[in-house]
Structure 1
Amino acid sequence: MANVQTGLHSPAIPRPSWLRRVMLRRAERRALDTMEPRDRERVLAEVGLCESDLPCVLDRSGHVAELLPEALRLNGVDAVWLDERRRDLLWDLQRVCSACPTVRQCRRLIAAGAPAAEHHAVCPNAGTLTSLGTAA
């Protein structure tokens, strides 16, 4: 319920998921904008990005946290193991996912419980996901 005096949402009422994603993206952008240039370059290099990648990643990456874990699960890949043992590979998967042109199709396929083969037809990470799935 909105607070009459401030017009803000009450903390007890959950915000729609799209609004949470927008707020998180803005917070991420503010955090990067306030970094010293050298620190910003270091952080970007750690995740395999450069300054010119930021607009695409920040504007279009809200789906990564939602869809990539599901794509990993669909392919039998343990996300915790990947994060602990091959973080570089996880970051690359996230980078590719963030620039994905087929987000809507991916979301529909995952929601419908489609098999991995059907998901691979639209996923730019399909080759890596397949390799990880067979290695697990």
Structure 2
Amino acid sequence: MDDYKKNRKIEVLPVLAMGCLFLVVYGLVLLLTKPFVEQGGVTPAFEDVNDPMNILYIIVVMLAMTLVILLIAKYWKEKIIQFIILGAIGYTSFFAFFLPIFSIVLPLSLSWVILFLSVTAAIVLVIVLYKYP
């Protein structure tokens, strides 16, 4: 019975760690949205933000992308999935670096420098994630 408890603890620990990781990520997202809103960088994804059908649309898009990735994993190479995910990370990290970090540190008159630093940081992140997955 002692081995069962030990194995159970080993199985539960990664699940709890992932749960904590999700909480940290969503907490950081809440902190990052304030600079986006203040700079006017947030536009609503839908015309009517109070429409309950927006949730259904998001779920359908998520399920469709999941289906596409599962089909790619089954019939083609997994490298394609890695490039899709790295592209999504690079695209997202560009926006995460662009407005909240660099526009706070640098004056807005140097917008081309902010753009260059954001693109560079996103590319470096993608290269590091490609070399060290």
TM-score (norm 1): 0.29
Greater Rg over alpha carbons, structure: 2
The structure in which a higher percent of residues are helix is 2
TM-score (norm 2): 0.29
